[in-house]
Amino acid sequence: MNFKFIAVFVLDKKLYAEFCDLIRKTASDLAGGKIPDTLMAVIKESVVDADALFHSKDILEKNMKVERRVAEFFTGVKQDSDNEYLNIKLSKDRQDTVFLKKLLTKYKFGKYGRFAVEKSLEIATSGFAYQVSFASAD
């Protein structure tokens, strides 16, 4: 995918959700089970809301609870935990968000939203993605 398509997904949450649902359905048909549903829920949430970022809303962290086997599937690493569930932390570094906001401002996000996101992605390719980390659930 090129940056134009990614920019559309970053801005059009409904379209992105439909795209994720299509992938989830296809993966469920191929693999079966609950992993694709939960995995797609994490993927849906892992995109930074450009509008919220531009308007200085708190987007630095999100937390989700998933089955341990999903975390293992997601990372490819067996998790050292006896808990059935793990907390997933989706986080974004404050410096990254400040830099992204400067880029969005430079490219006039308020007037040219898709163009501004596209140009920002050319400079910060993972700028609208959260980093994912795992911890044992309480």
- Over residues 84-116, the pLDDT tens digits come to 788 888 999 999 999 999 999 999 999 999 999
- Over residues 24-63, the pLDDT tens digits come to 888 777 766 666 678 788 888 899 999 999 998 888 899 8
What pLDDT sits at residue 27? 78
* pTM of the complete model: 0.80
What is the token pair recorded at 25? Answer: 């359905």
Residue 136 pLDDT class (50, 70, 90 cuts)? low
What pLDDT sits at residue 77? 72
What is the token pair recorded at 95? Answer: 């410096």
What pLDDT sits at residue 32? 65
Q: How far is CA 113 from CA 91, 100, 134, in A?
A: 23, 13, 33
What pLDDT sits at residue 18? 93
What pLDDT sits at residue 102? 96
What pLDDT sits at residue 42? 86
Report whether 103 contacts 122 (CB < 8 A): no
